[in-house]
Amino acid sequence: MKARKVKGLDPDGPLDANLRRIVAVRVAELHSFGKAVLDPSDVEALHDMRIAAKRVRYVLELGEPVLGPDAGRGAKRARSLQDVLGEIHDCDEGIPRVLALIDRLREEDVAAVRDSADPTASDLDPAALRRARNRRKYAGLESLVSYMRARRAVLYAEFLRTWAKFERAKLGARLDGTGR
């Protein structure tokens, strides 16, 4: 996700004012995903919010000596958000990967079992099942997918709590100068 441009930065101007300008844009960027992420299946919005949270975190970590302890607390909250969204992202990438592996292993087995039959065979003997060399692999991988789906649901619930805390903290108003 491309970062929104921060307008009006002045390299020769004071550090404090420039940082607050960046914080305002980055926090607004983060909040812009607030509605979309309430849909747990909106994988793209969750991913984009993670990137936005990372940008908020880094500008607050960097600016803490100037912006004060609110920035430090904000950075920690942004990091919590980034961390839980990162774990969700890992599940969103990992589940399709494991499912694709299961499909690939099954296709290999189908081919091996089919190829064990005589080309003129009218049916397939169940004994051909022994040619399914990957059969012991499915169970563990199916269990893994179940675990990852359950973990994703747990993480999403944790994300909603983390996001609610972040919103309650009203970080933007505290740090962009408008709340002062």
Partner 1 sequence: MARARPVPGFAESASFREAAIRTVEVRTEEVFEHRDNVLDISDIEHVHDMRVATRRLRAAMEIFEPCFPKKQFRGLLREVKVLADTLGARRDADVAIAAMDRVAAELPVADRAGVNHLLAELRAEQQQANEALAGLLGQIDSDRLHERLLAVAAETGAAAEVPA
Interface with partner 1 by CB under 8 A: which residues?
3, 9-15, 18-19, 22, 54-55, 58-59, 61-62, 65-66, 90, 94, 98, 101-102, 105, 134, 136-141, 143-144, 147
Minimal distance in Å, beta carbon 180 to partner 1? 18
**What would the two tokens of residue 127 be?**
């004994």
Measured CA angle at 160 (ends 154, 161), to 5 deg: 95
CA-closest candidate to residue 68, choices 175, 145, 166: 175
Minimal distance in Å, beta carbon 66 to partner 1? 5
Q: Give whichever of 105 and 117 is closer to partner 1, judged by the CB atom.
A: 105
Are 20 and 176 contacting, i.e. CB atoms less than 8 angstroms apart? yes
Q: Give whichever of 4 and 35 is closer to partner 1, judged by the CB atom.
A: 4
Q: Give whichever of 25 and 37 is closer to partner 1, judged by the CB atom.
A: 25
Give the separation between CA 166 and CA 82, rounded to whole angstroms: 11
Q: Give whichever of 98 and 117 is closer to partner 1, judged by the CB atom.
A: 98
Handedness of CA 166, 167, 172, 173 (dihedral sign): negative
